[in-house]
Structure 1
Amino acid sequence: MAIFSLLLSGLLIGWQMMKLLKQPNEMKVEFMSELTQSMKTVCIGRYLVDVPSSFVLNIPLANVDGFDIRPAKVSMPSLDLFRERNQVDENKWRQIAHNTEASLLRESIRVGGDGHIFSYRESARHNRTLMIQARKWLNTREYWLKQESIISDEEKDIEKAKATLNK
């Protein structure tokens, strides 16, 4: 009789365990059903992907034509503020002296009505490298492209930035 009650207890425990293990799978199915009821399409590179409407795309860094593309953390609510920020940055780089040139700013080029390219050194000690930064206001959004360059490639990299902004 002891063996029978032990066997029966084992079967009951096993049956209860199966019920408990089955519940999370049912919960997952229910959760996925709710999650996929409302979908939106996002573009990731060359692909259009359907994702839940609550999905937030967070790509920290992309590279196009040799330029790093980073999402701007500061939102610019207007084109006027975008232009003002460009002017503030240009003045900042122009006012800081470099050890071999008048300022950190090497070039400031307007591209189209709402684009701007800056070529500047990051500090007074940088002699061989510089940054090429292209900014564009498009469809109420601010886009930045940034590339480290060397002095001998500056013109080529500025032309590449112009071509990228004009795409």
Structure 2
Amino acid sequence: MKDDTLTAILTDSRRFHSAFDTLIFNTALPGFSFFHETEPRNLLRDREKTSAFLAKVSHLAQPFLSRDPALKTHLLWSNVQPNLPTTVANVIDWADFRLTTPRYEAVKALGRQIFGGSTTFSFLTTCKDVEGPLLDHPDVISMDVSRNGDFRGDPILFDTCLQNAFDPKTT
């Protein structure tokens, strides 16, 4: 019998494959990729490198696997990294990064499935990168971010959003 728990999915090297010479995908996690890995194709061909990658993925997944249900969870979705459109241009269609109603609903459903019904969200985007009607949702925040080649944006960009997310008066 196949084990479909998140731990099993993340530690089964047979579920991973590389694409576009720059991304690593897991067949059980559609639309989710690992981007900042050096030489993904070679990484997945080398047993030692694959083992180290799977250990890193398992470590990063721990907050999702062993959370305290009594704690409040707030999830943040963002597509405002200044260089994101140019960085992904040769790999993934920018439309896959826009905040659409189906994507908004899927993120919220999955977040609540994993972390419980009281999970709250912030979706950070720009007016150009979101379906118009979503701007009326209180958890969708449009930010004035200029697109450019810089990896880093304004260091305080998320401050107000995160302060509001964790302020008992606003949540």
Decide: shared fold, TM above 0.5.
no
Higher relative contact order, structure no. (Cα contacts within 8 Å, ≥ 6 residues apart) = 2
After TM superposition, the score normalised by the length of structure 2 is: 0.23
Higher strand share: 1
Tell me the TM-score normalized by structure 1: 0.24
